[in-house]
């Protein structure tokens, strides 16, 4: 398999994990508070990530960079804060459907912020994905406060995605694990005043049931830590519009998980999900300009794939 598919595979896996996260977050918020959930899931994820990042080059330097703080603010603090608060006012399924706007927001942000030109097949894939998720969202969709908050969260994440792409070409760009960890550290630190406010006002609450507690642990270890690394690695190496359109699969995948849990199939949603996934496939086959792994990243290059596995120890 060509190395150029590794970033696409990384983004694809992060999308699957992202889709599952809405259900877990909903379980945790049944008895927990949004600030406790947001900080706890990242604190758990950082327990896994920091020891890995600390052994790699330039971790402390990356932590000190102002643009890392900006990544933490947009990709962690604002996104997860608004998304988790939004889940208090809407259902996980509806929140997943709102992700249909992310490809459009990311493409717009890429054109404005970095003058990224969209390949013709990417435009076609983006249009199909938008139509598909529109069909998915058509049944029972309503613009409530939770939806508005999730749209704000997605706008912040679109900016985060473009910032990743913009900084990828720098000579001092860190590897994916270092950048993901440093971003998570700053995002968590910036959320601490919000947690302090919840504690001071008596609104802070940890999940009181076993399902909610296990959901937070799973969010930290199984979802947040891998998703940070995988999405950062992929988004740095493919056009922002492609990484954005790949997230159009989240509503369809979320609906698929709902069917596995016993939800009755809706033909309109099924067709919309199929169209959205078709758009994702077309966009990711648009010959994206995938960049090689940066020095010291321990990620495979084309020659490494031809000669065997890479030693990452």
User: In this predicted model, what pLDDT tens digit does every residue of 54-70 receive, in sequence order?
Assistant: 988 889 999 999 999 99
Q: Is 292 left (phi over 0), alpha (psi -120 to 50) or beta?
A: beta
**pLDDT above 90 for 205:** yes
Pick from 72-81, 189-198, 294-303: least confident:
294-303
136 assigned to some structural domain? yes
CA distance 101 to 256: 19
Handedness of CA 2, 15, 42, 260 (dihedral sign): negative
Tokens of 157: 């994440």
CA distance 236 to 291: 8
- Residue 35: per-residue pLDDT: 95
194 assigned to some structural domain? yes
284 assigned to some structural domain? yes
- Residue 299: per-residue pLDDT: 34
- The average confidence (pLDDT) of the chain is 78
- Determine what percent of the chain is predicted with pLDDT higher than 70: 74
Tokens of 260: 């596995």
109 assigned to some structural domain? yes
311 assigned to some structural domain? no
**pLDDT above 50 for 180:** yes
302 assigned to some structural domain? no
pLDDT band at residue 131 under the 50/70/90 scheme: confident
Average pLDDT over residues 65-91: 92
Pick from 5-19, 125-139, 282-296, 298-312: least confident:
298-312
The domain total for the chain is: 1
Tokens of 29: 């918020």
Pick from 32-36, 63-67, 303-307: least confident:
303-307
The larger pLDDT score, comparing residue 287 to residue 189, is at: 189
Q: Write out the residue range of the structural domain in which residue 119 sits.
A: 5-288
pLDDT band at residue 9 under the 50/70/90 scheme: confident
- Residue 33: per-residue pLDDT: 95
Count of alpha carbons within 13 angstroms of residue 123, beta-carbon side = 6
- Write the DSSP string, 124-182: HHHHHHHHHHHHHHHTT----HHHHHHHHHHHHHHHHHHHHHHHTT-TTPPPHHHHHHH
235 assigned to some structural domain? yes
310 assigned to some structural domain? no
């Amino acid at each position: 398999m060509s190395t150029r598919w590794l970033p696409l595979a990384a983004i694809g896996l992060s999308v699957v994990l992202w889709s599952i996260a809405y259900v877990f977050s909903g379980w945790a918020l049944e008895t927990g508070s949004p600030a406790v959930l947001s900080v706890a899931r990242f604190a758990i994820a950082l327990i896994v990530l920091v020891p890995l990042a600390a052994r790699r080059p330039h971790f402390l330097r990356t932590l000190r960079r102002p643009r890392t703080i900006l990544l933490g603010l947009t990709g962690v603090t604002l996104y997860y804060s608004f998304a988790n608060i939004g889940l208090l006012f809407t259902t996980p399924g509806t929140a997943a459907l709102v992700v249909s706007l992310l490809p459009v927001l990311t493409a717009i942000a890429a054109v404005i912020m970095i003058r990224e030109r969209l390949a013709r097949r990417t435009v076609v894939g983006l249009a199909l994905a938008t139509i598909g998720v529109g069909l998915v969202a058509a049944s029972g969709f309503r613009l409530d406060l939770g939806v508005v908050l999730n749209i704000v969260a997605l706008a912040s994440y679109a900016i985060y995605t473009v910032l990743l792409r913009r900084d990828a070409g720098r000579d001092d760009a860190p590897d994916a694990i270092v950048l993901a960890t440093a971003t998570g550290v700053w995002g968590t630190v910036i959320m601490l005043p919000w947690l302090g406010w919840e504690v001071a006002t008596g609104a802070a609450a940890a999940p009181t049931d076993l399902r909610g507690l296990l959901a937070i642990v799973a969010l930290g270890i199984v979802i947040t830590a891998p998703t940070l690394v995988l999405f950062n690695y992929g988004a740095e190496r493919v056009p922002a519009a492609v990484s954005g359109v790949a997230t159009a699969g989240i509503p369809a995948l979320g609906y698929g998980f709902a069917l596995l849990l016993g939800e009755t199939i809706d033909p309109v949603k099924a067709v919309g999900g199929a169209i959205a996934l078709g758009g994702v496939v077309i966009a990711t086959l648009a010959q994206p300009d995938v960049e090689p792994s940066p020095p010291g990243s321990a990620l495979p290059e084309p020659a490494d794939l031809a000669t065997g596995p890479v030693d990452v120890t």
